[in-house]
């Protein structure tokens, strides 16, 4: 089953957008719930987004260097 991963809210004091800094896994690899899925940066901080589910990374919808906003689709997992 396909699961769309969207950028979650980044906290009360955080901005609504970030830059994709690094994908620690590649398409076709398995990721476990809670593991670092993607690393992002803002003008204030760098942080990782944990995987919300265990599954295989099917598609990276955004690439390193892309700007994303809260709610944007960032990747698709097969769970």
Across the range 44-62, mean pLDDT stands at: 95
- Overall average pLDDT of the 45-73 stretch: 96
The single-letter DSSP state of residue 7 is P
Sign of the Cα torsion 19, 23, 26, 29 reads negative
Residue 58 confidence (pLDDT) above 90? yes
Percent of the chain with pLDDT over 90: 80
Provide, rounded to the nearest whole percent, the portion of the chain with pLDDT above 70: 95
**Averaged pLDDT, 20-34:** 97
End-to-end CA distance of the chain: 5
Work out the average pLDDT over 12-38.
92
Domains delineated in the chain: 2-78 (2.40.50.100)
């Amino acid at each position: 089953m396909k699961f769309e991963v969207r950028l979650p809210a980044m906290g009360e004091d955080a901005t609504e957008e970030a830059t994709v800094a690094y994908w620690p896994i590649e398409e076709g690899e398995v990721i476990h719930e809670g593991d670092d899925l993607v690393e992002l940066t803002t003008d204030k901080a760098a942080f990782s987004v944990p995987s919300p589910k265990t599954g295989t990374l099917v598609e990276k919808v955004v690439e390193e260097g892309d700007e994303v906003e809260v709610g944007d689709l960032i990747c698709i997992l097969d769970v």
